[in-house]
A and B are shown apart, each in its own frame.
Chain A
Amino acid sequence: MHLRKETISIQERLGEYCRTGVKLELPGVTPGRIHHYRRLISNVVNDTLHTAFPITVAALGEHQWELLVQDFFADGIPQTPQVWKLPFEFYQYHAGRETGKRIGKPFLDDLLYFEWMEIEIHTMPDRPFPDFVTEGELFNDRLVFNPEHEIIQLSFPVHTHPVREAIELEGEHYALLYRMPESGHVQFLNLSALNIYIITRLQEEKVTLNEIKNEIARVAGIESGRYLDEALQKFLGDLMERKLILGFTRN
Chain B
Amino acid sequence: MEGKVGLGLRRDIAEEILDSRILTPDFLEFAPENWMGMGGAWKRVMDRAVESFPITCHGLSLSLGSPEELDWQFIRELKSFLDENRVTIFSEHLSYTKSRNAHLYDLLPIPFRRDAIDHVVDRIRRVQDLLERPLAIENVSYYTPVAAEMTEAEFVNEIVERADCKLLLDVNNVYVNAFNHRYDAKEFIGALPLERVAYIHMAGHEQVEPDLIIDTHGQPIIDPVYDLFEWTIQKMDPVPVLLERDFNFEDLEQIQGELTQIKGILNRHWEVTHASA
A positions within 8 Å CB-CB of B: 1-4, 7-8, 10-12, 14-16, 18-19, 26-30, 33-34, 36-37, 40-41, 44-45, 48, 77-84, 86, 122-127, 148, 179, 183-185
B35 CB → nearest A CB, Å: 9
Chain A residue at minimal CB-CB distance from B62: A81
Tell whether, in the assembled complex, residue B104 and residue A15 are in contact, meaning their CB atoms are under 8 Å apart.
yes
Tell whether, in the assembled complex, residue A123 and residue B100 are in contact, meaning their CB atoms are under 8 Å apart.
no
8 Å CB contact of B67 from A11, A82, A122, A127: A11
Tell whether, in the assembled complex, residue B41 and residue A81 are in contact, meaning their CB atoms are under 8 Å apart.
no
B36 CB → nearest A CB, Å: 7
Tell whether, in the assembled complex, residue A82 and residue B144 are in contact, meaning their CB atoms are under 8 Å apart.
no
Residues from chain B with a CB closer than 8 A to the CB of A33 are 143-144, 212
Residues from chain B with a CB closer than 8 A to the CB of A184 are 40-42, 44
8 Å CB contact of B106 from A41, A124, A183: A41
Tell whether, in the assembled complex, residue B106 and residue A37 are in contact, meaning their CB atoms are under 8 Å apart.
yes
Tell whether, in the assembled complex, residue A40 and residue B106 are in contact, meaning their CB atoms are under 8 Å apart.
yes
Residues from chain A with a CB closer than 8 A to the CB of B99 are 11-12, 14-16, 18-19
Tell whether, in the assembled complex, residue B147 and residue A26 are in contact, meaning their CB atoms are under 8 Å apart.
yes
Tell whether, in the assembled complex, residue A11 and residue B145 are in contact, meaning their CB atoms are under 8 Å apart.
no
Tell whether, in the assembled complex, residue B40 and residue A10 are in contact, meaning their CB atoms are under 8 Å apart.
no
Say yes or no: A81-B148 contact (C-beta < 8 A), given A3-B119, A7-B113, A11-B111.
Answer: no
8 Å CB contact of A37 from B33, B108, B111, B181: B108
Interface-central residue, A15, A19, A86, A148, by most chain B CB under 10 Å:
A15
B246 CB → nearest A CB, Å: 11
Tell whether, in the assembled complex, residue A81 and residue B144 are in contact, meaning their CB atoms are under 8 Å apart.
no
Interface-central residue, A7, A179, A185, by most chain B CB under 10 Å:
A7
Interface-central residue, B44, B98, B105, by most chain A CB under 10 Å:
B105
8 Å CB contact of A78 from B67, B71, B103, B145: B103
Residues from chain B with a CB closer than 8 A to the CB of A36 are 143, 208, 212, 214
Interface string of B139-154 (1 = CB under 8 A from A): 0000111111000000
Residues from chain A with a CB closer than 8 A to the CB of B56 are none
Interface string of B148-192 (1 = CB under 8 A from A): 100000000000000000000000000000000100000000000
Bound CA span A183–B105, Å: 30
8 Å CB contact of A19 from B66, B104, B214: B104
8 Å CB contact of B115 from A7, A18, A48, A81: A7
- Tally of A-B Cβ pairs under 8 angstroms: 145
B234 at the interface (CB under 8 A from A): no
Tell whether, in the assembled complex, residue A7 and residue B34 are in contact, meaning their CB atoms are under 8 Å apart.
no
Enumerate B22-44 residues with CB–CB distance to A below 8 Å. 33-34, 36-44
Interface-central residue, A33, A37, A148, A185, by most chain B CB under 10 Å:
A33
Q: Could you write out 21 A-B pairs with CB less than 8 Å apart? A: A1-B119, A7-B113, A7-B115, A7-B147, A11-B108, A12-B67, A14-B108, A28-B146, A29-B144, A29-B147, A41-B104, A78-B102, A79-B103, A81-B60, A82-B61, A86-B105, A123-B42, A124-B40, A125-B38, A126-B43, A127-B39
Chain B residue at minimal CB-CB distance from A127: B39
Chain B residue at minimal CB-CB distance from A80: B103
Tell whether, in the assembled complex, residue B41 and residue A183 are in contact, meaning their CB atoms are under 8 Å apart.
yes
Bound CA span A40–B33, Å: 19
**A-B pairs, 8 with minimum CB distance:** A15-B99, A184-B41, A81-B61, A2-B118, A126-B39, A33-B144, A184-B40, A30-B144
Chain A residue at minimal CB-CB distance from B34: A84
Bound CA span A37–B71, Å: 23
Interface-central residue, B44, B119, B145, B146, by most chain A CB under 10 Å:
B146
8 Å CB contact of A123 from B40, B101, B116: B40
Interface string of B109-128 (1 = CB under 8 A from A): 01101011011001000000
Contacts beyond the supplied A11-B96, A48-B105, A123-B40: 17 A-B pairs with Cβ under 8 Å? A1-B119, A3-B119, A12-B67, A14-B146, A15-B98, A28-B111, A28-B146, A29-B146, A30-B144, A44-B106, A45-B105, A78-B104, A78-B105, A81-B74, A84-B34, A124-B38, A184-B44
Residues from chain A with a CB closer than 8 A to the CB of B42 are 123, 184
Residues from chain A with a CB closer than 8 A to the CB of B104 are 15, 18-19, 41, 78
Residues from chain B with a CB closer than 8 A to the CB of A126 are 39-40, 43
Say yes or no: A3-B146 contact (C-beta < 8 A), given A15-B99, A15-B100, A79-B101.
Answer: no
Residues from chain A with a CB closer than 8 A to the CB of B71 are 81
Bound CA span A28–B148, Å: 6
Residues from chain A with a CB closer than 8 A to the CB of B181 are 30
Tell whether, in the assembled complex, residue B37 and residue A7 are in contact, meaning their CB atoms are under 8 Å apart.
no
B105 CB → nearest A CB, Å: 5
B6 at the interface (CB under 8 A from A): no
Bound CA span A45–B102, Å: 13
Residues from chain A with a CB closer than 8 A to the CB of B105 are 41, 44-45, 48, 78, 83, 86
